[in-house]
Chain A
Amino acid sequence: MSHVRDLFFDEFYEELERVAGGIELEEERPSEPSILTGEVRGCWRPYIPDTGEREEALVSVDGGVQLSRFAYGGFVTVGRALALIHRPGEDRTLEKSVKIHVQEVYDDRDRGIIPGYVRMIAEYRAARAAAERVLEDGLRPLVLLDGSLYLGRFPYATREYTHHPGLLAELFDSISGLRLLARERGFPVAAVAKDSAVFYLHMRLLRDLVRRAGLRPVAQEVEDASTPLDLRVRAERLRPEDRAALSPFIERRPLCDTALVKVSTTTEGYTRPLLLAPSIYFGRGDAPVLYERIRRSLPRDPVEGVVSSLRRFFSCPGVAVTYWKPAPRSRPFRIDVAAHALGHPEPWGEEKGNRFVEEDADHGPLRRVLDHLGHWFCNDVEYNIPLRQADTLARFDRDLYAHKYEPFIIHRLEQAGLDITGTRRALREVDS
């Protein structure tokens, strides 16, 4: 904490009052129930997990990342991940992975994106190594990652492919490596997100509602919109009569998926799994167009490697999402499951839009995943003990990094001939 006397508190307090006042004014309006409540109940599957026998060896994966910035664009990212393997009835074992990425970075957007990629590479590598170890022992793994299996922000900007093509190729390869192995050996891969705020389910249900209402002229707009906010913008561009027809479906305060499930359900259970299309389809163009853009932008040497990694990535099975409530009053968790476990082993690249799995699909594999999650659930905070342990072990504390890792990085990279000059900020903070 700075020891300088704070000069801003009066201004801060004034601004806080202004903002809070604005919220209070809005809240005076009566809140309406969501128009999608009935839709959510329609896709709700009550289920109490069977926490008794669990066959699979649970592989729980989490990671952490830290970075160093140097003068003149020097940028080092260190990701680390840990897979905790628990065979029922035995003590857990660990599989670890570290990924270091060194690059000169001049674009602030890249500095925001790269650490996430590095962390994911480490996580998928650890997950795959652990799954292989379990398979070698003749057991079936269930790989559980913290967060999501889905790339919500797919790297479709050509800039990314020109700035760090090798890193992206590594990212796609590490993801594909696990997913293809899972499909080939028939084991589930899942992810738990505790605080997801996406609108995938919301939009799918809205599209179905609009279609059932027979609003054909506006149905495509709803189909193309990725979020309720996007839909509101699109509605502004419609003819007045179409806008009026659509207005009952545009909520003043739309609820994200987890909030929607929370207010709409009262029992334990999960939503009918929703197969997600690659997010690229909500941008402009599709995979082949992306390949072309990459080919046009990159030199010959890296381009084929990157495109081939991308092709491999899109040849993997897709991702399905469900929202799960372990207890009647608990907040829903978003659960991503690799789609092959739900009877969809086909390449992901073939999915053009989000859709529910078939009504008669076998939910057994998904329920086995939920059985594991139910067993390790304690409460809304300690929601998965193996993941919590993996998080504790892999979390990358800034102090730890700065004191134990960064000095080695600087020393070794200097030895290797890199110009490691500290930033002025770093030099300034030495005394603080």
Chain B
Amino acid sequence: MTTYGVIIGQANPSFFEFNIADPGVRPVNYEYVQIGLEEQLPDGSKKNVDVLGQVKGIHSRHPFYDQRTTPGAVWKQRELGVGEEMLQILATVKVLGYVHEEAGRREIRRPRSPPLPGTPVSRASDDLLREFLSLEERELPLRVGHLLHRVGVEVPISGKELHRHTAILAMTRYGKSYFAGRVMEELLRQGATILTIDAHGDYANMTQDPGGLLHDFFRDKVTVYRPESAERFEAPHARPLGLSVSGCSFAELSALARISGSLQTILLARAIRKARKENPVYTLDDVIEKLEEDMPEKAEGQERVARIVMRLEDLRRRGIFSEGDVNIREFFRPQHMSDIFLSGMSDYVQDVVVGMLLRRVFDTKFRKEPWARLPIFVFVEEAHRFAAPPEEGGGKFSRDILARIAAEGAKFGVFLTVISQRPRRIDPDILANCSNLAILRVVNRQDQLTIQAASESFSEDLLDDLPALEQGEAVLVGPYVPVPVMIRTATRETRHGGRTPDIYGLLKEAKEEAESRKKDEELLY
């Protein structure tokens, strides 16, 4: 085992500092280290434990090269030699804890005693790290990545703990969707039922391997549901997503059609009742027909009906509703993912669709339908569009149901994962209910503070790490990991859809096409 140095200065059970003995053998930032500690147990007995820590800061200093030294003097200093005996490299370590086993129960404990100055600090062994991070089978370990700087040490997250809801947050293009996709893959392998609100179609190709061929395992585990007004997407596993107006609550329909006057509301409610009586799966046309059938005699009443009809026709043109209705039962297939493909749809329509679908899913679980007994993992991509607070212009239809799922979903088996690049625009009530956090690179200070405010376990030092993360690197915090941990996301098994467009390739193609056209024109004239 490599020993880096010894503890110096004041140490406490949470942090210590050590002096690196040999500058040639020094840890990098975020490296894991271990120390031996004599811990006093509650019964007064003492036990030697291996305590794991993580380097959270490393700095070097040399008395000859301080800030007051002028550039000219620095070069003269160099002429005398570097003077390595005066070089001081100090590392600050955050104590993560030690593994405690008692009566067959295994847990990570924080030491109560401070490490003693003079204690040797070594590079943590892979075995200790594995012991620290391993999860038992009943915890449903999901292998989402490996430790940062330790490729050989896998970091599983507890699938069981996802019932406490999760937030995956990062700047655009830093690997949120990739990480979420990896979690979905692992959940599917564990038999989970998943519903994905896929704003950009990032998960629509999860039936394929990264090379574009059908994946042996996932080929039949994903169904894409595409509303009529969404972007074109054709694939054997794609289905049209029909949303009948009959599945819409009266309040939702009134809001959608912007019908608010009491007389108008009465007229609309009467028309809906009549339409439903004739056909439980009625359409907007049916409602309009019923309104026109009952046209009042007075001109004033006729005008009122005409205004309602005009608004319903306007709603029809937006393409939210279609004939036929989605069978919500399909979303509860075991070991299957239902991907709601919303790419290309306006924010407004996406909001309505998401709100309606999630309300039906939640109601199903709430009513404890026997065919919906399995828990459902709901992933909401671009969550800030749907989960922003009303005063921030958040989704009128989806925000409330998301807040309800975040607050009560765990009880009924609806487990939420929100994915967003704008944490500050997500309703704080929703974010605060996400106990598990996967944070990739976040630079915006306001976003950082939002994350910290949402999670008690997100400490200041973790916050400082966020801007330094590279693409695919994440800080995991919350009950789904034994201790806050920094990982690199494992390579996905399936095709990732959230890629940056290949600008180089596309422009090259464009240039070739333009040149070919020019040649054709020259031949013509």
Instruction: Using CB atoms and an 8 Å cutoff, list the residues of chain A in contact with chain B.
Output: 84, 86, 90-92, 376, 378-379, 382, 385-386, 388-389, 392-393
Contacts and interface: CB of A to CB of B under 8 A. Distances in A.
Contacts of B79: 385
Interface residues of B, number: 14
A86 B76 CA distance: 12
Nearest to B82: A91
A61 to B, nearest CB: 14
B386 to A, nearest CB: 57
Interface in B58-109: 63-64, 69-70, 72-73, 76-77, 79-83, 86
A385 B83 contact: no
Given A389-B64, A392-B64, A393-B86, A84 B70 contact: no
B478 to A, nearest CB: 43
B83 A92 contact: yes
A86 B80 contact: yes
Contact of B73 (A91, A92, A382): A382
Contact of B76 (A84, A90, A91, A385): A385
Contacts of A378: 70, 72-73, 76
A385 B63 contact: no
B72 A84 contact: no
Contacts of B86: 393
Contacts of B64: 388-389, 392
Given A92-B81, A378-B72, 18 more contacts: A86-B80, A90-B81, A91-B83, A92-B80, A92-B83, A378-B73, A378-B76, A379-B73, A382-B72, A382-B73, A385-B73, A385-B77, A385-B80, A389-B77, A389-B80, A392-B64, A393-B63, A393-B86
9 contacts: A91-B81, A378-B72, A382-B70, A382-B72, A385-B73, A385-B80, A388-B64, A392-B63, A393-B63
Contacts of A393: 63, 86
Contacts of A84: 80
B286 to A, nearest CB: 84
Contacts of A389: 64, 77, 80, 83
3 tightest A-B CB contacts, nearest first: A91-B81, A385-B76, A382-B73
Instruction: Classify the secondary structure of B's interface with A.
Output: helix
A392 B82 CA distance: 14
A359 B73 CA distance: 36
Contacts of B70: 378-379, 382
A385 B79 CA distance: 10
Contacts of B69: 382
A378 B64 CA distance: 14
B495 to A, nearest CB: 57
A69 B77 CA distance: 38
Nearest to A395: B63
Contacts of A91: 80-83
Contacts of A392: 63-64
A386 B81 CA distance: 11
B64 to A, nearest CB: 6
Contacts of B76: 376, 378, 382, 385
B417 to A, nearest CB: 54
Contacts of A385: 73, 76-77, 79-80
A386 B80 contact: yes
A388 B69 CA distance: 11
Contacts of A379: 70, 72-73
A336 B114 CA distance: 55
Nearest to B77: A385
A239 B428 CA distance: 98
B75 to A, nearest CB: 9
A392 B65 CA distance: 11
A221 to B, nearest CB: 47
A389 B80 CA distance: 9
A389 B73 CA distance: 11
Interface in B117-148: none
Contacts of B82: 91
Nearest to A386: B80
Contacts of A376: 76
A389 B79 CA distance: 12
Nearest to B71: A378
B356 to A, nearest CB: 67
B78 to A, nearest CB: 10
Interface in B18-77: 63-64, 69-70, 72-73, 76-77
A136 B485 CA distance: 58
A379 B69 CA distance: 11
A385 B74 CA distance: 9
Nearest to B72: A378
A134 B72 CA distance: 28
A392 B68 CA distance: 13
A91 B63 CA distance: 17
Contacts of B81: 90-92
B116 to A, nearest CB: 18
A378 B77 CA distance: 11
Contacts of B80: 84, 86, 91-92, 385-386, 389
A394 to B, nearest CB: 11
Interface in B296-323: none
A84 B76 CA distance: 14
A388 B70 CA distance: 13
